[in-house]
Chains A and B, each alone.
Chain A
Amino acid sequence: MADDASKPFAGLADVSISEDIAVEGDISVPVGTSRRDEELSTLDEPVKETVLRDLRAVGNKFVHVLYPKRSSALLRDWDLWGPLLLCVTLALLLQGGATETQEQGGPQFAEVFVIVWVGSIVITLNSKLLGGTLSFFQSLCVLGYCIMPLTAALVVCRLVLLLANNAVSFAVRLLVVSASFGWSTFASTAFLVDSQPPNRKALVVYPVFLFYFVIGWIILTFSP
């Protein structure tokens, strides 16, 4: 027994390959090699092609936010271009509020950035600490892309403010901002909720709700 135990392939020791038997055969290489050639050749493709590929990916994710259903498109190929674009647009459009002193006004450009990015990071950490299975950047990606309805609302608000600045315009703005806030929260929960442990879903959704509420408030109180 000890002998067998010490030689794991004891049974095969007797089998020997005679030197007369030639070992031959065919190895067929799968299509991968030609694909490798194609991938290498993306270096040679025109720059427009490269840029358009990324733009198409970003645009595809925007469409997914517009019609949120439980798909994994946002999660599989995450990218942070969309969130960056949205954040810059948001911060730029929030400039120009007339203020008596600098202090009394709305958030500065850098403050908007800090709120959006630090808020997203804190919410991501929170969901991971509670036991979520999304990766850090996937979560940032989802939260950033779902700001899109609120950015659209800000554009609408600025257009409305160009026309009038009275109670009616305020009512219209309130309606638009509330609708987009609900849309953002609904969209992000549609993407995030599946990866959370079942009895902690509300604990994860509440900070997201608070985040979009605060951004909605900043948009609503913008006064030129």
Chain B
Amino acid sequence: VLFTVVVSGAEFEEAAQLLSSNPGASTLSVSTSNNSVSAEGRSEEVKLDLSDEEEAEQESSELLGGQKPTGGFWTFEYYQSFFNVDTTQVLDRVKGSVMPLPGRNFIKHHLRSNPDLYGPFWICVTLVFTVAISGNLSTFLIEMGNPAYHYTPQFHRVTVASIVIFLYAWLVPISLWGFLSWRQGVERQVGGYSFLETVCVYGYSLFIYIPTSILWIIPFEWLRWTLMVVAMVISGSVLVLTFWPVVREDTKPMAVSTVAIIVALHSLLAIGCKMYFFQTASHISPLPPTTAPIQIDTQTTHFGSTLN
């Protein structure tokens, strides 16, 4: 049985929310006069393991981080437990991924041991189609004045985008979770998250790229780079704020390198998407050898040509 201790007088509404999401849990409200609060005056939620069988339960429900599945993995109810979210909860998590505040750990604050697969999956699917469609539109806008250009839907990009994004959203959390679990085994102080929570935070952190990729249709390079930096900062900070408290206990080089690799992979995804799907005017790939390759030197000469 998992006990959740709410340490503050001002967080009863959080306790009420917790109770409504998990009515089976027992809660213990402790209001202390000297709260251990952070500098901004926000108090932290502390999960105390008061039960002896907690260890055994942790082993068995390792994947779900404390939320017991209701059946074996071959039953439908097992997978239904991953979709146990309401519209308001999903919207709240999306908001939390777009506005990361220091001190608000996404997993502790928004997921509250109810990670879901709805958000990550549909955010990835939406991102795949947004990137492919926006890339197609941006190519069309750039080539609009070119009389030799024939519009093509470039549908193969959807396949490429889906492979890249789904691989990122699933392989990176798996390896990160494996790595953190291994470190947890080696160095006892390092905390860890369950597999589902890791996948969840990665999935929601990709949400900011959806409006970014739509705005990337606008063909100004400086705007695109600005948007990308903003998106990377927001998305990366969600990840860093989530994982830093966990790896902080580790040895200094390991902690820093872990966080650095997380940020680097995330940036790689953003830059790679931009380079492949949203080509600049000077980098349009030449048409196949059946027609003469068309060179477009700069954006200015292109927009100077007369439109039919």
Contact = CB atoms under 8 A, between A and B. Distances in A.
Interface of A: 97-101, 103-107, 111, 126, 128-131, 199-203, 206-207, 210, 213-214, 217-218, 221-223
A-B pairs with the 5 shortest C-beta distances?
A221-B153, A129-B83, A104-B152, A199-B86, A202-B87
Given A203-B87, A203-B90, A210-B126, A111 B80 contact: no
B80 A129 contact: yes
A206 B122 contact: yes
Given A104-B154, A105-B152, A106-B155, A126 B118 contact: yes
Contacts of A105: 152-153, 155
Interface string B60-98: 000000000000000010011011011110100000000
A203 B86 CA distance: 8
B12 interface: no
B290 interface: yes
A199 B88 contact: yes
B83 A221 contact: no
Looking at B82, B86, B122, B153, the one whose CB has the most chain A CB atoms below 10 A away is B153
9 contacts: A104-B156, A105-B155, A126-B118, A126-B122, A199-B86, A202-B87, A203-B118, A206-B122, A222-B153
A217 B133 contact: yes
Given A129-B83, A203-B85, A210 B153 contact: no
Interface in B122-149: 122, 125-126, 129, 133, 136
Contacts of A98: 150
Residue from B76, B80, B152, B154 with most neighbouring chain A CB atoms (10 Å) = B152
B20 to A, nearest CB: 12
Given A129-B83, A200-B87, A206-B122, A101 B133 contact: no
B153 A106 contact: yes
B125 A210 contact: yes
Contacts of A126: 83, 118, 122
A103 B90 contact: no
Interface of B: 76, 79-80, 82-83, 85-88, 90, 118, 122, 125-126, 129, 133, 136, 150-156, 287-288, 290-291
Nearest to A197: B86
A208 B93 CA distance: 21
Nearest to B140: A221
A221 B136 contact: yes
B85 A107 contact: no
Contacts of B152: 97, 99-100, 104-106, 223
A173 to B, nearest CB: 13
B84 to A, nearest CB: 9
Contact of A130 (B118, B136, B290, B291): B118
B82 A129 contact: yes
B83 A218 contact: no
A100 B155 contact: no
Nearest to A108: B155
Given A100-B150, A131-B83, A210-B125, 11 more contacts: A100-B291, A104-B156, A107-B155, A129-B83, A200-B85, A200-B87, A203-B90, A207-B122, A210-B129, A221-B153, A223-B151
A97 B126 CA distance: 26
Contacts of B151: 221, 223
A221 B254 CA distance: 49
A193 B13 CA distance: 31
Most buried by B among A103, A106, A128, A129: A129
